[in-house]
Structure 1
Amino acid sequence: MSQESEHGKWTVSSSDESTEENDDNAEEPSTSSLSHSGHGKTSGSQYPCSEARKVGHKRKASPVKFNDTSFPTGISPAEIQRTSQEGLGWCLSSSDEEPESEGQPQHAQKEAVKEEKYSAPKMQPSCRFEDNELPVSQKPEKHYKVASESQDTWDLLNGGNPFRFFVTKVKGIKSKYNSGALHIKGKWLIPTETVKKPLLIVHGEKRESKAELHSQARPYENVRLCQAKLDIAFGTHHTKMMLLLYEEGLRVVIHTSNLIDDDWNQKTQGIWLSPLYPQLPPGTTGSAGESVTNFKSDLIHYLMSYNSPTLKEWADIIQGHDLSETRVYLLGSTPGRYQGNQKEKWGHLRLRKLLKQYTSAIPAQESWPVIGQFSSIGSMGADQSKWLCSEFRESLVMLGSSVKTLAKPDVPIHLIYPTVDNVRQSLEGYPAGGSLPYSIQTAQKQLWLHSYFHKWSAETSGRSHAMPHIKTYMRPSPDFQKIAWFLVTSANLSKAAWGALEKNGTQLMIRSYELGVLFLPSAFVSS
């Protein structure tokens, strides 16, 4: 169910949208521009990618059907409550509500976010960050303001939707299993002649790939390209973010999907969707519009790290908006070697600093595991002491300022990664492996990692699930009744993404651009 404006549709799925048999025809296989900047369609063969992903792209027009009757997440769709934002096309549907007649407008709910009561926003320039290459359900902690004990604290679709986190719709499964999932209806990336909205694409392509990208963009005078500099070998521009500027305000979207339609069809992806940030009064200066999480200044700092005059323009745009409603912390990585007080600005040391400052120690916290799921694995050394269970774990297990936290080597680490059978039985089949890069050469050098692996999903008969491209990290209690923190990010399990200490720990070296948002309970405490 959705509301449409001149710049496309964002839609939250309802189980009543279509029957299983009609899912393939419910919408066109490709999706709309991520920045709402147009409706042009681009062939998948134009994107530089692996052969496996190209094969998967060919299969997207005829997605495999879901053939298992169990509900994979264990959450009843009836538990998902409806919330919407009036007139903006961000509409949440529940699987147990009455279907509305085709073509009838959706009615705004009383729970609509106050600052977003506008007519459909008119699009201004947009900026997207492109890659060149499921949260669990918990019961609420006592300091959360919720309607009942049965509500799911980390179901970010409930009530007033304070968390603003969504997963993406998966084509080819029953509609009820997509209830509450966010997706984009329409066509794809490049605008048509009738919709010439300014569009900036930030990318990390080099040499032939860069030339090909420029060739593709040349016919569109409203499209600009900005190259992210990658001066350290083996680094990538891996950030996935949209900056969407409307006449009514600004929106930031941080997600795990690449800007290719395959990533929005039959993969598990995550999206954090900001509120619509209003403009500040003219002449406002200083820290006006800052959030309790310093999200505004951190986002500006991240954009300025590109050293790009074009992105400086976007930093100025953000400076002119009120981001005070943000309740998440920004956690990024940028290529470089950082010393002194610069070490804690990026990567896993940035996570360590946030957890030290804004969380508290928990009784028996050594039994609270760290759980990570990701779609790619890098080289971490000859044994776990080289990075995973030393500096990286020290960052992830930090809770409060207690020094004892760093002396807890027995904190469990559970790493979730798909098996060969997971891939084979997925909706895409073996081509889904093209989005799960982990070279055999690297794997054979770190067989010790197998002892930390856990299956990504329960075994099912037939092809019944989407392969993950989402990356999340969390610290739940042993019984999964509470969560100390939750992170959704572009960063996979690698030193290139998170950084590695050098020079006896005095320097942090990061190869890639990454971006994510961190959810901490302290930022969501009711005032």
Structure 2
Amino acid sequence: MSQDSQHGKWSVSSSEDDDGDELPPSIKSSKPLQMTVSDHATLSSPTLKVDATPLVVKPEPFPVPALVVGSEARQQAAKNQINPVKYEPSPSLAGKRKLDAADGSGWALSDSDDDDDDAKKKSNPPPARKAPSPKRKKVVDKRPPSPHGRVYYIDEPDDFFESSVPCLDDMFRFYLNKVTGLDRKYNSGALHIRDVLSPLFGTLKESVQFNYCFDLAWMVQQYPPEFRDRPVLIVHGDKREAKARLVQQAQPFPHIRFCQAKLDIAFGTHHTKMMLLWYEEGFRVIILTSNLIRADWYQKTQGMWMSPLFPRLPKGSSDTCGESPTFFKRDLLEYLASYRAPELEEWIQRIKEHNLSETRVYLVGSTPGRYVGPDMERWGHLRLRKLLYEHTDCIPGEEQWPVVGQFSSIGSMGVDKTKWLAGEFQRTFTTLGKSSVRPSPAVHLLYPSVEDVRMSLEGYPAGGSLPYSIQTAQKQLWLHSYFHRWKADATGRTHAMPHIKTYMRASPDFTQLAWFLVTSANLSKAAWGALEKNNTQVMVRSYELGVLYVPSAFNMKTFPVRKNPFPVTSSSSGFPVPFDLPPTCYTPKDQPWIWNIPYSQAPDTHGNVWVPS
């Protein structure tokens, strides 16, 4: 089976399903990568075979910064930014690159317009001729001008950060991040981490940062000077070498302590992204999609839910006081208790002492484990199913209301859609109320195409935050028929690639929502859980966290969609969906971004190409 696009034709073969879409924390370091994917092989044969002699990638000759963290895709993006490969039109790169059809050893990019010629030449293939690899170029004066200049990051203008409390959406409390390089109006009502931690929202005493990737020196600089030495607890999932590097990062900062999340199931990650902020004035919870690294707060689309400022309860109040109609306090305490970590005990006690009754969202978390009986509905997609069953209402014609999912990473779904996506996942995400009717509406999955990444503000390095690998893609070509383009013209963020993850149920005309979820969970069984033992047990690998909006919690039947989220107003009743509706389906020439194959035929917005090591 093959896929064609303006960036080339690639054929892949199906194989058995496996689990896990993120690297285990123990291998988040930059190590030589063994791959069976060649960046200059042919795809003229109907089925790709990737069982040739493995290619051992040697360390690059240039230094990689010590704080390059995260997936291999992120590490590759960092290399690309430090030492970009300049686009050089030439016959060897502009034309079709071929290898002997009998070789079938890996990947190549061919011009799809010439597919008819390919068919004619199969019976009489030309002599094998390997095209020269694009050479890495040092960043010199000949490099084409780019918005970043000679340094990848540019400083934000003085008025980029808030100097007074901004106009915020007080109803839904759902915010996008600020994006460097956008018109000011598209950052109005959006928040940077420096805004979130500023004195505008409270006099900070202590904080906890739950996350997956950390740059601690950068993180400390985001706190205002007056709060920069206040105690911070880092909750992470790193082990062994990665943990040692994280601890080393903290050496200059004696106010930082650590709490290691237990990850006892292979391929699980601590993917939750949350801040707990304790102020002199009260307490606040922020659940978000950004890692604690500069790249995630620079030119990507991210989202967050920021709680109200929760006041302290009167002394002597019982632990059950201050509960919200959504039982947010109970569920947050249960989530924190799942860590079984002494370091979080004082925070559990602090939460008990505050009034969280104003919360209008439901907490949807995942924690690693195998669960049976009633515990199956505590975490993952079965937790979401239970909430949708109990707190949403049936809608006439609901079979016409599609599910829309949007994410930045994709795990193994199985050899066909029945294995997980159209079974467990769709069964959960199409639940509306207590109806016994189980329709199968359309499922639209939003994931950036190669062209979306190429034309983004960051260019090809934006794909470092979209770690969909060819090894996974080759097992599930059927999934790509669900894909839709990432477009966000209404928000002015079309070219700020998404790291946000959102899921929702929309009306056929996409003007109403039955519910909306923002979460850290990507499209994977590791994040959402998978049923086992004839559906009597659910297994979850990772820590994840998100918040669910249902209309009943806001005294509404459905959420109207706000067509133009910017500028933000505090009185709007429409929900600020962070991408354009209706979704735009991939065309036959569109190809999902896959990080570990080359894209050399067209330059990105910085005049560079993508040649993974």
Rate the CA distance shift 1:510–1:89 in 2: closer, same or farther, 3 A.
farther
Between the aligned partners of 1:91 and 1:446, the Cα distance in structure 2 is: 45
1:63 CA displacement: 7.7
TM-score normalised by length of structure 2: 0.61
1:177 CA displacement: 2.3
What's 1:415 paired with?
Answer: 445
What's 2:420 paired with?
Answer: 387
Contact 1:63 1:172 in 2 (8 A): no
Contact 1:330 1:517 in 2 (8 A): yes
* 2:469 paired with 1:439: yes
Between the aligned partners of 1:358 and 1:54, the Cα distance in structure 2 is: 44
Rate the CA distance shift 1:399–1:295 in 2: closer, same or farther, 3 A.
same
1:399 CA displacement: 0.5
Rate the CA distance shift 1:250–1:57 in 2: closer, same or farther, 3 A.
farther
Contact 2:69 2:75 in 1 (8 A): no
1:458 CA displacement: 7.5
* 2:178 paired with 1:180: no
Contact 1:422 1:459 in 2 (8 A): no
* 2:78 paired with 1:54: yes
The structure 1 residue matched to 2:521, chosen from 491, 499, 505, is: 491
Rate the CA distance shift 1:273–1:372 in 2: closer, same or farther, 3 A.
same
Q: Per the alignment, in what secondary structure is the counterpart of residue 411 of structure 2?
A: coil
The structure 1 residue matched to 2:538, chosen from 487, 492, 508, is: 508
1:57 CA displacement: 6.5
What's 1:190 paired with?
Answer: 220
1:52 CA displacement: 2.9
Between the aligned partners of 1:339 and 1:302, the Cα distance in structure 2 is: 17
What's 1:223 paired with?
Answer: 256
Contact 1:63 1:171 in 2 (8 A): no
- State the Cα deviation string for residues 34-83 of structure 1 (Å, max 9, x = none): xxxxxxxxx97424233234247769xx9838xxxxxxxxxxxxxxxxxx
1:403 CA displacement: 1.6
Q: How does 1:146-185 map to 2 (within 5 A)?
A: 157-158=168-169, 161-185=170-194
What's 2:32 paired with?
Answer: none
Between the aligned partners of 2:412 and 2:555, the Cα distance in structure 1 is: 39
The structure 2 residue matched to 1:263, chosen from 265, 283, 296, is: 296
User: Which residue type is aligned with residue 52 of structure 1?
Assistant: Q
Q: Per the alignment, in what secondary structure is the counterpart of residue 390 of structure 2?
A: helix
Rate the CA distance shift 1:56–1:330 in 2: closer, same or farther, 3 A.
farther
1:385 CA displacement: 0.3
Between the aligned partners of 2:373 and 2:488, the Cα distance in structure 1 is: 45
Q: How does 1:207-286 map to 2 (within 5 A)?
A: 207-286=240-319
Q: How does 1:32-431 map to 2 (within 5 A)?
A: 45-49=66-70, 50-55=74-79, 64=147, 90-92=165-167, 157-158=168-169, 161-185=170-194, 188-190=218-220, 195-405=228-438, 408=439, 410-431=440-461
- State the Cα deviation string for residues 347-394 of structure 1 (Å, max 9, x = none): 000000000000111001010000000000000100000000001111
Rate the CA distance shift 1:425–1:321 in 2: closer, same or farther, 3 A.
same
Contact 1:52 1:432 in 2 (8 A): no
User: Which residue type is aligned with residue 454 of structure 2?
Assistant: R
Rate the CA distance shift 1:305–1:89 in 2: closer, same or farther, 3 A.
farther
Contact 1:243 1:253 in 2 (8 A): yes
Rate the CA distance shift 1:464–1:491 in 2: closer, same or farther, 3 A.
closer
Contact 2:444 2:483 in 1 (8 A): yes
User: Which residue type is aligned with residue 354 of structure 1?
Assistant: L
Q: Per the alignment, in what secondary structure is the counterpart of residue 527 of structure 2?
A: helix
Rate the CA distance shift 1:248–1:44 in 2: closer, same or farther, 3 A.
farther
Rate the CA distance shift 1:312–1:483 in 2: closer, same or farther, 3 A.
same
Between the aligned partners of 1:266 and 1:231, the Cα distance in structure 2 is: 34
Rate the CA distance shift 1:56–1:165 in 2: closer, same or farther, 3 A.
farther
1:433 CA displacement: 0.7
1:171 CA displacement: 0.5
1:185 CA displacement: 3.8
1:91 CA displacement: 1.4
1:270 CA displacement: 0.2
Between the aligned partners of 1:205 and 1:223, the Cα distance in structure 2 is: 16
Between the aligned partners of 2:487 and 2:269, the Cα distance in structure 1 is: 28
Rate the CA distance shift 1:455–1:267 in 2: closer, same or farther, 3 A.
same
- State the Cα deviation string for residues 441-484 of structure 1 (Å, max 9, x = none): 11010000011111112799xx9711100000000101112110
CA RMSD of aligned residues (A): 2.5
Between the aligned partners of 2:510 and 2:147, the Cα distance in structure 1 is: 33
User: Which residue type is aligned with residue 395 of structure 1?
Assistant: T
Between the aligned partners of 2:305 and 2:396, the Cα distance in structure 1 is: 31
* 2:505 paired with 1:482: no
Q: Per the alignment, in what secondary structure is the counterpart of residue 91 of structure 1?
A: coil
What's 1:455 paired with?
Answer: 485
Q: Per the alignment, in what secondary structure is the counterpart of residue 251 of structure 1?
A: strand
Rate the CA distance shift 1:458–1:523 in 2: closer, same or farther, 3 A.
closer
Between the aligned partners of 2:489 and 2:512, the Cα distance in structure 1 is: 26
Contact 2:455 2:495 in 1 (8 A): yes
Between the aligned partners of 1:495 and 1:298, the Cα distance in structure 2 is: 22
Contact 1:44 1:57 in 2 (8 A): no
Rate the CA distance shift 1:347–1:516 in 2: closer, same or farther, 3 A.
same
What's 1:525 paired with?
Answer: 555
Q: How does 1:464-475 map to 2 (within 5 A)?
A: 465-475=495-505
1:175 CA displacement: 1.4
TM-score normalised by length of structure 1: 0.71
1:89 CA displacement: 5.0
How many pairs were matched up? Answer: 391
Between the aligned partners of 1:194 and 1:360, the Cα distance in structure 2 is: 45
Rate the CA distance shift 1:218–1:417 in 2: closer, same or farther, 3 A.
same
User: Which residue type is aligned with residue 166 of structure 1?
Assistant: Y
Q: Per the alignment, in what secondary structure is the counterpart of residue 189 of structure 1?
A: helix
Q: Per the alignment, in what secondary structure is the counterpart of residue 414 of structure 1?
A: strand
Contact 2:399 2:441 in 1 (8 A): yes
Rate the CA distance shift 1:435–1:63 in 2: closer, same or farther, 3 A.
farther
Name stretches of at least 5 consecutive residues in structure 2 with no aligned partner. 1-63, 84-144, 149-161, 196-216, 557-613
- State the Cα deviation string for residues 7-31 of structure 1 (Å, max 9, x = none): xxxxxxxxxxxxxxxxxxxxxxxxx
Between the aligned partners of 1:289 and 1:440, the Cα distance in structure 2 is: 49
User: Which residue type is aligned with residue 67 of structure 2?
Assistant: Q
Q: Per the alignment, in what secondary structure is the counterpart of residue 300 of structure 1?
A: helix
User: Which residue type is aligned with residue 374 of structure 2?
Assistant: N
Between the aligned partners of 1:179 and 1:284, the Cα distance in structure 2 is: 40
Higher mean alpha-carbon deviation, 194-203 vs 415-424, is at 194-203
Q: Per the alignment, in what secondary structure is the counterpart of residue 220 of structure 2?
A: coil
Q: Per the alignment, in what secondary structure is the counterpart of residue 248 of structure 2?
A: helix
Contact 2:68 2:75 in 1 (8 A): no
Q: Per the alignment, in what secondary structure is the counterpart of residue 175 of structure 2?
A: strand
User: Which residue type is aligned with residue 172 of structure 1?
Assistant: G
Contact 1:425 1:464 in 2 (8 A): no
Between the aligned partners of 2:510 and 2:433, the Cα distance in structure 1 is: 20
Between the aligned partners of 1:456 and 1:441, the Cα distance in structure 2 is: 23
Between the aligned partners of 1:53 and 1:312, the Cα distance in structure 2 is: 38
